Amino acid sequence: MPVMEEALKASHPPIRSFVLRQGRITAAQTRAVAEHLSAWQMDAHAVWQDPWKSQRPLLLEIGFGNGEHLAAIARQRPGWGCIGAEVHTPGVGSLLLQLLETGTDNVRIIHDDVVTWLQTLPEALLQCIIVQFPDPWPKKRQQKRRLIQPEFAALLCRLLVPGGELQMATDWADYAEQMLAVLNATPGLQNTQPGTGYAPRPDNRILTRFERRGQRLGHAVYDLCYQRLP
């Protein structure tokens, strides 16, 4: 597809903020991916086409893990189009099982490197972008691989509609400080909590199994919320 090829040539090399690991996948997850993913999947290498024909506000969750939050917010907002991106197959299978169980039909899945895909999307497309608990890459030499960097923050800002919301969360204090510094310095983004920096947990953010485990270990969680300026 020539348009896609030109877009990819013009973009920077993708930020590899993840490592594909051989995670455990259940038989049910394997079947769900094999039998149902094609009906829910969006092609990350095709020119953008809105699955809902521009009739719904669009939400994107980057790195949805086991899909627990994405499935919940899709049920909370049945009039929205909810797109989830995840590279790990067990998480994709888990999300599919939840969607099938509840009959939720307003979700589409990018099972690919989301950064390369994002670079091809039109401006002011998304009403809400959510990034929860991205890999913290805690070692000093690894931190260049963290997802939240100035270039990526600028890309997310470009994709938001004016007034659109960017939500992030992490349970790593130094990553939270980096996120805060990067996002506060991103032109076009406004912190919704300028007095304190960090935000209260958004109403839509359920306590996932991952977060509950962190709480048991005594981890604090830092929420950040921004809006794209008009």
**Residues acting as catalytic residues:** 135
135 among annotated binding-site residues: yes
108's enclosing H/E stretch is strand 107-110
53 among annotated binding-site residues: no
6 among annotated binding-site residues: no
105 among annotated binding-site residues: no
113 among annotated binding-site residues: yes
- Residues 125 and 117: their CA atoms lie apart, in Å, by 13
108 among annotated binding-site residues: no
208 among annotated binding-site residues: yes
- Residues 162 and 107: their CA atoms lie apart, in Å, by 23
Burial of 103 (0-12, 13-18, 19+ CB in 10 A): exposed
68 among annotated binding-site residues: no
139 among annotated binding-site residues: yes
- Residues 10 and 58: their CA atoms lie apart, in Å, by 25
User: 87 Cβ partners below 8 Å, 6+ apart?
Assistant: 18, 20, 111, 112, 113, 114
Distance of CA 71 to the CA centre of its chain: 13
Closest to 104 (Cα-Cα) out of 64, 68, 79, 75: 75
Which residues line the annotated binding site for substrate? 139, 171, 208-211
Which residues line the annotated binding site for S-adenosyl-L-methionine? 61, 86, 113, 135
Which residues line the annotated binding site? 61, 86, 113, 135, 139, 171, 208-211
